[in-house]
């Protein structure tokens, strides 16, 4: 406890020196972004601006969402509560309207404590408007996940993909001024808002949600031209990989594609990386505004993807799996007084963000929350840490997984439909399920203890919501 107190004293002292004012918060959310970024070790993707952002602060190497689908994940980190608690396990469900009328979302807690708050783009799930902001603009596009709100050409693209048996269609390049490029408008609005709020006495909490690299994979042509098909690295899938995986884990006929042609795989990955580079350009525009307005010294910047995304590992594509690639996502924090150009190998959960920001900004504790502040890691990213991360998935039966620094353990229907145990020290690709290995039973029991400490959700998504995980 003494070590944590000293670390927090360093951070709080740094904040106190910033014109006796509370720090601003800029919270940037990308949609469906996995860790295929330069700062996470990918040597093909071009993300110089996100990489530079990571150099300014701390890149968390083991950061995990609580649900590998947009709405449940966002509801979780914006409320600081597990999906097991919120019962929000699908795209349509609204937490405040149907589950917890007294919930206080993260921006609302800041607003109640003297902050100007704004939500730009997709912060809540598309079309959901539960958070009370001082200013909100989601550009009225219905959200990237709203099938009916898409233009007919985009719906037709989805229909083609389904007819071809692919998880989603390979989308087209666009002109620079194409109205499909919503993130252009989001970046412009965000920069304008930063210009208006810079230098004002009232601190701000601004959340900006960029749509890319969410499907449809549409981006200006120049970003597609950054990549060739030959550059695209395909995931290795050992022969018979599926034999030790519980069948329920691979049950989705859309996501599980064991027979996809390599050329289709390369087209899909190329389109995704093009959209990632498009997103990176928008992040660069925001960072340039931060430089110009001299906001870095009194602003906490958080950058995350709302969950991960599979590139064919285990022959699984897109999200909605309990494999590492869907559960793990980018998580970068830049804060005054914190370490820069640092990597933390410690486990953090997305719902930890709520109590961390509250602590860093010296706000009263929220009346709800199940996360743990990782503020101490901002000054000592390597310090001892005993955190584990939980992720859930709610088809029928439910899947639940827990991750510590070395192992991932997953149960389906509380083990009745199978279990998985992977040792990331020796098996980072999760190719060998050790759940039935006699010598790993002590580890299995320890991971079971961690997993069973999280109560099973008492509410289930509506039956019609099954499969609405796009």
**Domain map of the chain by residue range?**
2-388
> Which of 122, 51, 61, 115 is CA-nearest to residue 91?
122
Residues of the chain with confidence (pLDDT) below 70 = 1-20, 140-172, 175, 178-180, 395-397, 456-470
pLDDT at 437: 98
pLDDT at 169: 58
- Which entry of 39, 65, 70, 327 is annotated as an active-site residue? 70
Secondary structure (3-state) at 289? helix
Tell me the CATH number of domain 2-388, given options 3.30.1490.20, 3.40.50.170, 3.40.720.10, 3.90.1150.10. 3.40.720.10
> Which of 288, 387, 328 is CA-nearest to residue 4?
387
pTM: 0.90
pLDDT at 165: 55
| Whole-number Å distance between alpha carbons of 393 and 84 | 10
Neighbouring residues of 196: CB distance < 8 A, sequence distance ≥ 6: none
Can you state the angle between helices 182-197 and 262-292, rounded to 10 degrees? 20
- Which entry of 125, 211, 214, 314 is annotated as an active-site residue? 125
pLDDT at 3: 45
pLDDT at 170: 61
> Which of 151, 144, 203 is CA-nearest to residue 25?
203
Exposure string (b/e) for 17-29, b if CB count within 10 Å is 16 or more? ebeeebbbbbbbb
> Which of 72, 92, 22 is CA-nearest to residue 468?
92
pLDDT at 234: 98
Q: Which residue has the tokens 């690639």?
A: 325
Q: Are 117 and 205 in contact (CB under 8 A)?
A: yes
pLDDT at 138: 87
pLDDT at 26: 98
Exposure string (b/e) for 381-404, b if CB count within 10 Å is 16 or more? beeebebbbbbbbbbeebbbbbbb
Neighbouring residues of 439: CB distance < 8 A, sequence distance ≥ 6: none
pLDDT at 144: 40
pLDDT at 142: 40
Identify whether 70 is a catalytic site residue: yes
Identify whether 125 is a catalytic site residue: yes
Which stretch of DSSP H or E encloses residue 24? strand 24-30
The DSSP letter of residue 464 is G
pLDDT at 216: 87
Residue 263: CB atoms within 10 A of its CB come to 10
């Amino acid at each position: 406890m003494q070590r944590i107190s000293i670390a927090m004293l360093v951070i709080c002292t740094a904040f106190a020196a910033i014109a006796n004012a509370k720090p601003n918060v800029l919270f940037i959310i990308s949609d469906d972004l996995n860790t295929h970024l330069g700062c996470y070790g990918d040597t093909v993707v071009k993300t110089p601006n996100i990489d530079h952002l990571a150099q300014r602060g701390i890149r968390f190497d083991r950061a995990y969402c609580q649900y590998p689908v947009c709405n449940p994940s966002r509801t979780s980190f914006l409320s600081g509560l597990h999906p097991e608690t919120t019962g929000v396990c699908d795209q349509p469900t609204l937490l405040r309207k149907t589950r917890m009328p007294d919930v206080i979302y993260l921006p609302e807690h800041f607003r109640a404590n003297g902050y100007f708050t704004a939500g730009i783009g997709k912060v809540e799930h598309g079309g959901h408007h539960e958070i009370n902001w001082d200013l909100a603009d989601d550009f009225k596009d219905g959200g990237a996940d709203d099938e009916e709100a898409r233009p007919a050409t985009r719906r037709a693209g989805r229909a083609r993909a389904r007819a071809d048996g692919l998880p989603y269609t390979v989308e087209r390049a666009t002109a620079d001024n194409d109205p499909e490029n919503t993130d252009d408008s989001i970046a412009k609005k965000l920069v304008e808002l930063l210009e208006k709020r810079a230098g004002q006495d009232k601190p701000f909490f601004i959340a900006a949600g960029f749509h890319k690299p969410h499907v449809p994979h549409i981006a200006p042509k120049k970003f597609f031209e950054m990549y060739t098909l030959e550059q695209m690295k395909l995931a290795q899938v050992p022969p018979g990989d599926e034999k030790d995986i519980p069948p329920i884990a691979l049950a989705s006929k859309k996501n599980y594609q064991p027979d996809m042609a390599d050329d289709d795989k390369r087209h899909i990955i190329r389109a995704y990386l093009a959209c990632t580079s498009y997103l990176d350009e928008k992040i660069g525009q925001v960072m340039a505004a931060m430089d110009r307005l001299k906001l870095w010294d009194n602003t906490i910047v958080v950058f995350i993807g709302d969950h991960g995304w599979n590139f064919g590992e285990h022959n699984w594509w897109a999200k909605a799996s309990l494999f590492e690639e869907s559960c793990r996502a980018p998580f970068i924090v830049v804060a005054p007084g914190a370490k820069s150009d640092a990597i933390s190998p410690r486990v953090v959960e997305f719902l930890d963000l709520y109590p961390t920001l509250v602590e860093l900004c010296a706000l009263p504790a929220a009346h709800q929350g199940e996360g743990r502040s990782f503020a101490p890691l901002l000054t000592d990213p390597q310090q001892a840490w005993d955190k584990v991360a939980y992720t859930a998935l709610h088809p029928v039966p439910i899947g639940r997984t827990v991750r510590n620094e070395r192992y991932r353990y997953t149960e389906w229907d509380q083990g009745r439909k199978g279990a998985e145990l992977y040792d990331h020290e020796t098996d980072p690709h999760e190719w060998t399920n050790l759940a039935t290995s006699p010598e790993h039973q002590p580890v299995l029991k320890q991971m079971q203890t961690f997993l069973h400490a999280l109560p099973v959700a008492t509410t289930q998504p509506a039956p019609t919501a099954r499969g609405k995980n796009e």
